[in-house]
Amino acid sequence: MKREKKKGMNRREFLKAGAGALALGTAVAGGLSFPAIARAKLKDPIKIACQGVHSGPLGNNGEFMRQGALLAVEEINAKGGILGSKIEFLFRDDENKVDIAIKNARYFVTTWGADFLIGIDSSGVALAVGQVMPELNKILIVTHGSTNKYNEDIVYKNKIKQCFRSSIPLYLDGIGGAFVAKDFPFKRWAGIVCDYEYGHTSWKLFKHTLKSMRPEVEFVSESLAKLGTVDFSSHIAKVLTANPEAIYAVNWGGDLVALIKQSSVYKLYEKIGVWLGTMGGAMDVLTGLGREYPKGLWGTTRYWFLYPDTPRNKAFVGDYHKRWNIYPSHNSECAYAAIYMIKHAVEKAKSLELDSLIAAMEGMPLDRPAGPCYIRKEDHQAVYSPPWGQVIHDPKYPMPILTNLKVFPVDKLYRHPPFPPIE
C-alpha cells in the first residue's frame, strides 16, 4: 500500500514531533532540574542472559533454571519492568562444559549485549566463567554451582567483584549434614562421595564438623564415584564390607537416583541406621524416584518448596505450578531470586554502571521465596538457610516430600571470612 502524500504535517506526525521535542527538552533539562524523569529509562531493554545444563542426563537442571528465571522476568515485565525498562531474557545450554560456557558468556556480553549473566550448574564451570568476568566486566550471578571456592577464592581472596551467587554453597551439604548427623547415636560412618570438587569438599567439611562435635565418631570407609556413574554396585559393596552404622552420600541428579535405587536392591538401608544423601531433597531426585524413594532417608536441597510457610513462598509455588505444571526445584527458585536480585540492585543503584551495581548488591537484603536472605559483602554470597528433612510419601503430592525439617542458623551453617583452610 502506498502511503498517501500530504502537504504539511498530519495530526499524527505533529503529535510525534511534539513528543520528540518534549522528550528532548526534558532530557536536556533533566540533568539539572528533573533527575527522576531523565533517568526514567536506563536502557531498554535490560538484557539478562542465562546458561545451564539443558541437554544430556543433567538436562532437567537447566530446564528448572530457565523456568524459574522466565517466571521472574514475566512477572517483572508485567508490572512495567525495572525502572520502566523491560527485561529481555536469553537462555543457552552450556552442556556442563567449561569451553562452551565461556564461549556462551563471551557471546552474551560482546555480541548479544547482555547487561547481566546468571545460571551455571557445575562448580567447575562456575569457577572458569568467574575467572573471565573481569574481562567481560558484567555481573555474574551463579544460581547452582556450589563450590566454596567460588565465594571464598574467586570473590573474597582474588577480589573478582563481578561474581555473585544466589544459591547456598556446599556448606549446606557438608556442615549442615554434620548438624543432622550429630544427633544420631551412630559412631561408624561411611561416605559414598562423587569424585570431584563438590563431593570431596562436602565430605571433608562433613567429617571435620561432625568430628569437632562428636570426637568418638569414626569414618570407616569412603568410596569415590565419578560423575555419570550408572552402576554403583562396586561402591555399595565397598562401604558395606566395612559394616558402617550410618552413611553419608554426596551426590545429585540422576547419579543420586541410581545410587538410592541400587542401595535398595543391595538392602543397604536394612543394614544401617541412617542415610544422609545430600541433594536427596531436590525436585529432580524426588520426581525421579517417586514411590521408589525409601521413606525415612534424609536429604536436603538449596530451596525446599514447602519451606518457609510464608505467603511469599506460597505465592511463588502457586504461580510456578500454574505456569509450568510442576513444583519448583532449588534451581527454579535460585534463578528466580537472581532475577529479583538484579531488579533490586538496579532500582537501588538507579544505574547500570558496574561499581554502583556492586555497591548496591553488597549487603543488600533479598526478599525471596526461600526466606530471609542478604548478600554478604565480603564474598558476594547469598546468606539464607534451606532445610534438611526426611523423605515421606504424601498422597497430596505426586512425588515424595520432606518432613521433620531441620533448619540451622546461618552463622553456624556458613563458613565466614577470612575462611580458614578446611582441615
Partner 1 sequence: MLNTILYLVLVGIAEGMFLWLVAAGLSLTFGVLRVLNFAHGSLFMLGAYVAFSLVKISGGNFWIALAIAPLVLAIVGMGMEVFFFRRIYDLDMSFQLLLTFSFVLMLEDIVKFVWGPLYQTSPIPPALTGTASILGVSFPHYYFFILVVGSAVGLGLWLFIERTKWGKVVQATASDREMSSAVGVKVPQLYTGVFMLGAWLAGLGGILSVPIRSLSPGLGEYVIIEAFVVTVIGGLGSLKGAFIGALLIGIFHTFGVMYLPVFELAIAYITMAIVLIIRPWGIFGVREA
3-state per-residue secondary structure call for the chain: CCCCCCCCCCHHHHHHHHHHHHHHHHHHHHCCCCHHHHCCCCCCCEEEEEEECCCCCCHHHHHHHHHHHHHHHHHHHHCCCECCECEEEEEEECCCCHHHHHHHHHHHHHHHCCCEEEECCCHHHHHHHHHHHHHHCCEEEECCCCCHHHHHHHHHHCCCCCEEECCCCCHHHHHHHHHHHCCCCCCEEEEEEECCHHHHHHHHHHHHHHHHHCCCCEEEEEEEECCCCCCCHHHHHHHHCCCCCEEEEECCHHHHHHHHHHHHHCCHHHHCCEEEEHHHHCHHHHHHHHHHCCCCCEEECCCCCCCCCCHHHHHHHHHHHHHHCCCCCHHHHHHHHHHHHHHHHHHHHCCCCHHHHHHHHCCCECCECCECCEECCCCCEEECCCCEEEEECCCCCCCCEEEEEECCCHHHHCCCCCCCCCC
Q: Which residues of 67-82 are buried (b: 16+ CB within 10 A; e: fewer)?
A: bbbbbbbebbbeeebb
Pick the piece of the chain touching partner 1 (CB under 8 A) from 98-106, 108-116, 123-131, 223-231: 223-231
Please identify, using beta-carbon distances, which residue of 150 and 248 lies nearer to partner 1: 248
Decide if residue 10 touches partner 1 (CB under 8 A).
no
Contact between residue 382 and residue 146 where contact means Cβ atoms under 8 Å apart = no
Contact between residue 241 and residue 263 where contact means Cβ atoms under 8 Å apart = no
Decide if residue 60 touches partner 1 (CB under 8 A).
yes
Pick the piece of the chain touching partner 1 (CB under 8 A) from 32-40, 97-105, 143-151, 262-270: 262-270
Please identify, using beta-carbon distances, which residue of 60 and 143 lies nearer to partner 1: 60
Decide if residue 43 touches partner 1 (CB under 8 A).
no
Please identify, using beta-carbon distances, which residue of 107 and 196 lies nearer to partner 1: 196
> Which residue among 140, 289, 360, 370 contacts partner 1 (CB under 8 A)?
289
* Shortest distance in whole angstroms from residue 306 CB to partner 1: 19
Please report, as residue ranges, which positions from 94 to 133 form the binding site for partner 1 (by CB under 8 A): none
* Shortest distance in whole angstroms from residue 62 CB to partner 1: 8
Binding residues for partner 1, rule CB under 8 A, total: 40
Decide if residue 323 touches partner 1 (CB under 8 A).
no
Decide if residue 390 touches partner 1 (CB under 8 A).
no
Site string for partner 1, 367-386 (x = CB under 8 A): --------------------
Site string for partner 1, 62-101 (x = CB under 8 A): -x--------------------------------------
Please identify, using beta-carbon distances, which residue of 19 and 265 lies nearer to partner 1: 265
> Which residue among 122, 223, 300, 385 contacts partner 1 (CB under 8 A)?
223
Please report, as residue ranges, which positions from 146 to 205 form the binding site for partner 1 (by CB under 8 A): 195
> Which residue among 161, 235, 330, 415 contacts partner 1 (CB under 8 A)?
235
Burial class (CB in 10 A: 0-12, 13-18, 19+), 411: exposed
Decide if residue 325 touches partner 1 (CB under 8 A).
no
* Shortest distance in whole angstroms from residue 263 CB to partner 1: 10
Decide if residue 243 touches partner 1 (CB under 8 A).
no
Decide if residue 288 touches partner 1 (CB under 8 A).
yes
> Which residue among 31, 80, 134, 290 contacts partner 1 (CB under 8 A)?
290
> Which residue among 226, 312, 377, 416 contacts partner 1 (CB under 8 A)?
226
Binding site for partner 1 (CB under 8 A): 54-60, 63, 195, 223-226, 228, 230-231, 233-235, 237-238, 241, 253-255, 257-258, 261-262, 265-267, 284-285, 287-292
